Amino acid sequence: MSEILITPNPILRKKSLPVKEISNNEITLSKKMIKIMNDAPGIGLAAPQIGELKRIITINIYQNEKNIKYTLFNPEILSFSENKVIMEEGCLSIPKQFADIERPEKIQFKYLNEKGKIIEKNATGNESRVIQHEIDHLNGKLFVDYLSSLKRNILLKKVNKLKKNGEL
């Protein structure tokens, strides 16, 4: 599958399985994910969004005049800051819909890189937000789940309308 899945696809609500070994298949999948993410265009993509229930995410953001671009295998958040920030979020699986979402400002996280090495990092700003958003995907959670049921239903109905009108 190379197409980005759109809500309410049930795969988006399933929990992804850890990557046991970073083989050529996983590296090929991650490169495919980067291409799909960049073509969309998006700043983050989780494997479930293309129908693969594997704990792999890719990010490609600009922050502090730097391009931050990497793949995370089995990412895990170790700690969250108490300070929270509200920022607008969108999602390739919920096209053309945006909402203000509150998330921790900073995170400490770990992941495996392509070589299978454990990397521990701290992230703030957009990088922190994108990683939290994409890890939510790995757990079957979407950004609209942070909204009231009223706001969530409005956004999801708009997606269905876009589908019916052939705009997606």
Q: Which residues contact 81 (CB under 8 A, 6 or more apart)?
A: 104, 105, 106, 107
Active site residue 3: no
What are the DSSP calls for 52-65, one per residue? Answer: --BSEEEEEEEETT
**Residue of 76, 120, 134, 167 with catalytic role:** 134
**CB-CB neighbours of 160 under 10 Å:** 13
Q: 17 in the Ramachandran plot: left (φ > 0), alpha (ψ -120 to 50) or beta?
A: beta
The whole-angstrom separation of Cα 132 and Cα 123 is: 10
Calpha distance 93→141 (Å, rounded): 12
Q: Which helix (H) or strand (E) holds 29?
A: helix 24-39
Active site residues: 134
